[in-house]
Amino acid sequence: MSPQPAPADLPCLADPMATFPIRTFGDPVLRLETKPINEIDKAVHTLAQDMIETMYDAPGVGLAANQIGISRRIAVFDAQDELGPRVMINPEIVETAGEFEMEEGCLSVPGHWWEITRPAFARVKALDLDGNEVEYAGDGLLGRVLQHEVAHLDGGLLIDALPRRDRKKALKELRNENLGLT
């Protein structure tokens, strides 16, 4: 069955963009390695737009597709610099340098922040929505958000970057919270 075409003289009232619920700690999709994107078609463009909308709505500075339940290798970010919102498809970290401790939170682990040490600088190679190879590189918030989002796409979460003792404590907290024990 085909949908009835909308009358041509009426404006389309539907919001062309949509936001998705964000999957949280304990959802197994967050722990799966995402699959690369082979074809950047219209569906991928729509997904990227919806992910940007979802990220700003949260609000957040980065979002990986598996955080909305889509196990594909695409993430969006806005490191609050002149770049604005960016899309990275099939990103890979190709270089890191230094060390930097920063308070880090995650939309999938709401209400928690930890001081997390990661490399200060990161360089990522990816494809943009036109299929061009692009590079994003920097330190500060940009370096951090690049590493955080690529880790998501590998099935990682920020607590993985904590030292062992702190990670055990964080896991216990999160499990108790999920069980309604806190």
Instruction: Using the minimum distance from each CB to Zn ion, give the nearer residue, 33 or 41.
Output: 33
Measured distance CA(142)–CA(156) in Å, rounded: 18
Instruction: Using the minimum distance from each CB to Zn ion, give the nearer residue, 45 or 113.
Output: 113
Identified catalytic residue from 101, 149, 173, 177 = 149
Instruction: Classify the phi-psi angles of 169: left when phi > 0, otherwise alpha if psi is within -120 to 50, otherwise beta.
Output: alpha
Is 149 among the residues known to form the active site?
yes
Inter-CA distances, 166 with 103, 132, 156, 160, Å: 14, 40, 16, 10
Instruction: Using the minimum distance from each CB to Zn ion, give the nearer residue, 106 or 126.
Output: 106
Query: What's the closest the beta carbon of residue 152 comes to Zn ion, in angstroms?
Result: 5
Q: Which residues bind Zn ion (CB under 5 A)?
A: 106
Sign of CA dihedral 75, 52, 84, 160: negative
Query: What's the closest the beta carbon of residue 108 comes to Zn ion, in angstroms?
Result: 5
Q: Are 73 and 90 in contact (CB under 8 A)?
A: yes
Comparing every residue's Cβ against Zn ion, the nearest one is 106
Query: What's the closest the beta carbon of residue 49 comes to Zn ion, in angstroms?
Result: 20
Residues with catalytic annotation? 149
